[in-house]
Amino acid sequence: MALVYCLHHIESHDLARITIYGEYLENHPPQHEVEIIENSSWSCIHGVERWKSDCGCCSGMNPGWNQAWRATLRGAMDWLRDSLIDVYQNGLSPFVKDPWLARDNYIEVLLNRTPETIKRFLAENQSVDLAPSDRARVLKLLEMQRHAMLMYTSCGWFFDEISGIETVQVIRYAARAMQLARETAGVDLEPAYVEILARAQSNVPRIRDGAAVYEDLVRPVTLDLLRIGAHYAISSLFKWYPEKLKIFCYSAESSHYKQLEMGLQKLALGKVRIRSDVTLEEAGLSFSVLHMGEQNFIGGVKYYEGNESWDDIHGKIQEDFLKGDVSTVITSIDHYYESHDFGLWHLFRDEQRNVMERITDKTLHAIEPDFRKVYDSYLPLMLAMQNLRTPLPKIFLSTVEFILNGDLARVLEGNDLDLERLAKAMAEFKRWPGDIDTSNLSFLISRKLGELMGRLENARGAESLALLSDIEAVFNSLEGIDVELDLWKAQNIYFNLINNHFFSDMKENAEQGKPEAGEWVEKFIPLGDRLKLRIY
């Protein structure tokens, strides 16, 4: 934030012109030529051993760990790189003038991946006219080479452990390269690659070795058009999708979609065409997904090109669902989609969390009456235990936290703030000093303060005064509660208000004896202390 402010200040006051190294170098060509020492680096006193051996260079955060896995990982990558060369040359030679020059020229596509750039790149590098399937094949092979280079990303070897996020990422690049080799040439390099990784021992006992890293952290995130179709199908049960939409680097176009509900159960059926905007590969898919409540999904997706009795199959699934014959629906999905079944784990990670949050919120709402009953029935006992300094069982503390956080969330909903209900809710929190977790309280209050400050930024007159009173009341309600607030949003807005004309105008009006302006300034300036800001 400080850097952004500095750059904004420099530009807005015309103190200098912001540039980047590339532009500066272009405008000021080098005057001297130097020769670097080969096989040297700034972060390894052993040359470049950090990227291929257990040289001793590490973060130092994990005493006793070793990096012997580096040599094995480097060996696996080198073997894969060499194995991919023939796949690439043999696969691309029939279509382009020079496979390796085409790979180098592919940077133009990476810098500006648009349909126009791809079309121009293919026109300049192809040696024959390319059919749509040939274009996809060419782009897949180029992507295979791109990932073969990405799998050497420096940070993959730099840190301490083969299961670290950096190393896992370079192995994922390798997995994508092997997937593309399999799809373009029918060559399966994965078993041999994983066999090499198995010799790389992890420092974490439960991880074991590189093969386990591959199975647990790499293979489950592999994507293809069927996986994208599965993501589309499940997520469509929880959000509305237009006929055409983007899903990261994929495009989806629905030609048929129907969603049915039966109590807590939902069924979605449809046809969608998925296209990779990177390789231009595309396919029509049909899908059926049944949500039986909570985290339970049964679904299937398969390639569909119009030569199957899709209407008959989906018609039967729909009919059985409306009859309430769920077991037959599941059997039909299993039979029609065969091995192409899917569930919640096929969603992208962010969407998995979104769906689970929706499911959890609904579940918590359903069980709240039971927790409320426990809270109301045993509150006197819990207070007595507290007064006697007897530790409360965790189940009691969890119940208190759940009920109080739920009550506070409801108080803070919407624009209108009921100060009486807020005071009552906060009084309940004060009954349990140091006993219950206040992290959710901090989140709810911080969010509300940010929301009120946002409204204050655009408010004027009586509305502005009322908002200042509400903000003051929220801070007052926290007295006696040990809670750390996240105030960055409110602080930024307060800072902006200080530096715009409105604040100076209000100060001037207050000095001229205007009552409303005087009251506003009297409330606004102390708010800075609450927000840990000071006006000079």
pLDDT for 147 equals 98
| Tokens found for residue 335 | 């039979």
Neighbour-count burial of 2, counting CB atoms closer than 10 A to its CB (0-12 exposed, 13-18 middle, 19+ buried): exposed
Q: Which residues, given as ranges, of the chain have pLDDT below 70?
A: 306-308, 339, 536
pLDDT for 176 equals 98
Helices (H), 58-114: 69-92, 99-105, 107-111
Q: HSE of 468 in the Cβ direction (CA atoms, 13 Å)?
A: 23
DSSP element (H, E) containing 1: none
pLDDT for 413 equals 86
pLDDT for 6 equals 92
3-state helix, strand, coil in the chain (%, to 5): 60, 10, 30
Measure CA 348 to chain center.
Answer: 9
**φ, ψ dihedrals at 163, nearest 5°:** -95, 5
What whole-number distance in Å separates Cα of residue 489 and Cα of residue 147? Answer: 40
Neighbour-count burial of 274, counting CB atoms closer than 10 A to its CB (0-12 exposed, 13-18 middle, 19+ buried): buried
What whole-number distance in Å separates Cα of residue 32 and Cα of residue 111? Answer: 29
User: Is 0.85 surpassed by the pTM of this model?
Assistant: no
